[in-house]
Amino acid sequence: MAANRFRLGWFGNLTAPQWRDGWSDRDARTWSDGRFYVDMVRDMERAGFDFMMLEDSLMVPDIYAGTAELELKHAFYAPKLDPVPVVSMLAYATEHIGIVATASTTFYPPYLLARAFATLDHVTRGRVGWNVVTSSEDRAAQNFGMDVLPEHDARYEIAEEFMEVTGKLWQSWEPDAIVIDRERGYFADHTKVNPIDHRGKHFAVRGPMNVHPGPQGKPVICQAGSSPRGRDFAAANADMLLCIPNGLEGMKAYRDDIRARAEKFGRDPDEIKVFFVVAPVIGRTDEEAQAKNEAFLAAEQENFEHQMVHFAATMEIDFSVFDPDLPIPDDVTTNGHQGQFALWKEAFGGRPIREAASKMRVQSMELVGSPVTVADKMEEAMDYVGGDGFMFLSQPPSRSYTALITEGLCPELSRRGLIRQGFSHRTFRENLRAF
């Protein structure tokens, strides 16, 4: 086994796949039946991916210029499927790969979420994960009876109690509560199924849960904290993190920081796996990959519109009021993803908004080249950073891009012994911690 072996995840958007390239018309019209994503997750499992994560949001953004025009023009955040029910479909079509669904602690009731994910843990045979988000959009809040979101740190305070409640619910059945005693006529022992009687600042939940724990006991917990409060929350609760620090130094610093925080909370830092978001540009040769990358950068206006929709939706900032030929003003703040906003401002590097945004990919490091070249860069990065893996981002998704990764890059990674050759354990958590 290679000393620098690492894991792969895929950041999935359950939105319309690529529809403007002239190759994907059928998928653009039929994607919402889920079979496009079934094909994708099967390809990933064969290629050696550890998991597919299903991102989510709960609104049609209209922050940029006060309209949803650009959002719906590019089908960026909408239309979009709810990831929680899609987990069952993807798991039924596969055998080993983990499936992670995003759900918000700001909008879900704890009992409903705990029950849903316990159910998914059963029907996936122990392969479900929960990407814990606190949400960052007032437009989403307005779909749940709120005018605005709670403040950033208050959302994390709610999330911390939410995790306490769901943890109690997942433990409300003792491991040997189901007895199936035919002689006495007892299926379950009522003395081993206990109310939790939680009464806190934000939640009151009696319990117990009315479904017994699944194979993992609780889902694999994923998080994406960037702010100091978010990093503490992740270090205390997460099995895995996705993050977008800038460059190798930022990647190493982020992972070292999370591991140090985990130790502060009394955890083994090896229990937490950090995944760095990347968007590789793959060609048969380095020259072909560079040409693809240059073509992307040449589409400046479209790229600019994409980034403005993305920034406006996640940061709750209307960038249309700023001069695009000047840098982001120093006094701009957000109640959205604060840590990520700080990283984006750093990545902009004081450049004009239009120039920086139109040439930006949401990723920790640039990976452009042939499978051999990109594999070299990934291997060197993991050697330097120390682990633990990469999460690939494709937005919008497409069969052609998936094939470049699963049929082009992954075989090269596999030949080097860098990614998994199979799944040695039954559950997602066990496989995640296997190396």
pLDDT for residue 313: 79
Report the distance separating Cα 31 and Cα 247, nearest Å: 34
pLDDT digits (tens, 9 = 90+) for 321-348: 989 888 888 888 777 666 667 777 777 7
pLDDT for the residue numbered 298: 83
CA 65 to CA 45: how far, in whole Å?
41
Q: Contact 223/131 with Cβ under 8 angstroms?
A: yes
DSSP state string for 96-110: S-EEEEEEETTTS-H
Residues of the chain with pLDDT below 70 are 1-3, 22, 336-340
CATH number given to 7-285+364-432:
3.20.20.30
pLDDT of residue 300: 73
* Tokens representing residue 266 in the block: 């009394």
Task: Give which of 80, 57, 61 is closest to 71, Cα–Cα.
Answer: 61
Pairwise CA distance, residues 277 & 365, whole Å: 8
Q: How far apart are CA 261 and CA 25, in angstroms?
A: 47
Please tell me whether residue 76 adopts helix, strand or coil conformation: coil
Report how far residue 219's alpha carbon sits from residue 120's, in angstroms, rounded to the nearest whole number: 9
Q: Look up residue 191 and give its two tokens.
A: 């003395």
**What is the per-residue pLDDT for 337?**
67
The domains of the chain are located at 7-285+364-432
Q: What is the reported pLDDT for 46?
A: 97
DSSP 164: H
Cα–Cα distance for residue pair 170/111, rounded to 1 Å: 10
